[in-house]
Amino acid sequence: MSSSASGTLSSTTVGETGAPVVFLHGLFGQGRNFTQIAKALVPDFRSLLVDLPNHGRSPWTDRFDYAATADLVAAHLREGFATAGPVHVVGHSMGGKVAMVLALRHPELVDRLVVADIAPATGGSLGEFAHLLDSLAAIDLTMVTRRGEADEVLAQRVDDARVRGFLLQNLRADGDGFRWQANLDLLRRELPVIGGFPDVGGAVLDRPVLWVAGDRSDYVRPEHGPAMRRLFPRTTLVTIKGAGHWVHSEQPDAFVAVLRTFLGADER
């Protein structure tokens, strides 16, 4: 595993051989959230785990824009991981929307696309994410002397310890105190934009696309099918049983299995 911060984005590489796969995380996430998945794909695939803007070790921006974010990812890929040709791209939630826009704006960079539990549509459970952002904002970091204290405060609003652990990966020690590594103020302010989907004009991707849904999630619904297939006519939908929105972390073995099948299949 190696890390780099070439250009504007920070990323980590897992594996040294096989077809190249890029992973784009969701809101509150980091590239390293896909480490387990990437290691399970070795040695048949080598993976690039990208920290999207305003997350992880990548720089902050003053506004959120899917097209601009996709262009930053494209530039990062052209500088290194995609110099030998197109790559597979896997995106979850917000990262799935970035992946879709990337594929539509820069189709020459994308071989196959995997969109995990999100649709090219406005909406979804934005109330859930607004609650989580508000819960993090309610933590007074000037009063936090250890990570456990932040967890205790967060537990008053977020019952699920797994969700709290995911959120608190964004908490970083800074001198004698703590700071948020993610740009929570911007993410909170721009949540309606993050929950939307941009106008991509008449762009269409004529490449194989795998659309993965969790059967306990409502982010992918039957009414989303026409929009998805209009943009990506070669779409196959797979639903993973026992998975909610974070399908790759809730059912990692099943997620790896569908990735291997799709990415390793002959051209359709």
Each residue's pLDDT tens digit, 216-258: 999 999 999 999 999 999 999 999 999 999 999 999 999 999 9
Same domain, yes or no: 106 and 160 = no
Q: What is the pLDDT of residue 124?
A: 65
Asked whether residue 9 is assigned to any structural domain, the reply reads yes
pLDDT of 7 strictly over 60: no
Is residue 268 in a domain? no
Catalytic residue among 160, 174, 185, 215: 185
Euclidean distance between CA atoms 51 and 153, whole angstroms: 27
What does pTM read for this prediction? Answer: 0.93
65 is catalytic: no
Contact 255, 247 (CB under 8 A): yes
Read off the pLDDT of each residue in 144-164 and give the average, rounded to a whole number: 92
Residue 163 has pLDDT above 80, yes or no: yes
Q: Which of 93, 135, 217, 249 is catalytic?
A: 93
Q: Look up the domain containing 31 and give its range.
A: 2-124+197-263
Amino acid identity, position 129: F
Measure the CA–CA gap between 4 and 11, rounded to whole angstroms.
Answer: 5
Amino acid identity, position 8: T
Q: Is 185 among the catalytic positions?
A: yes
CA separation (Å) from 16 to 21, 141, 243, 248, 256? 12, 40, 30, 22, 18
104, part of any domain: yes
Active site residue 2: no
Instruction: State the catalytic residue, choosing from 224, 245, 248, 249.
Output: 245
Looking at residue 267, its pLDDT comes to 59
Task: Give me the chain's average pLDDT, please.
Answer: 93
Same-domain check for residues 86 and 144: no
In terms of domains, do 149 and 219 share one?
no
Could you tell me the CA-to-CA distances from 268 to 51, 204, 205, 219 in Å, in that order?
A: 31, 17, 14, 27
Q: How confident is the model at residue 5 (pLDDT cuts 50, 70, 90)?
A: very low
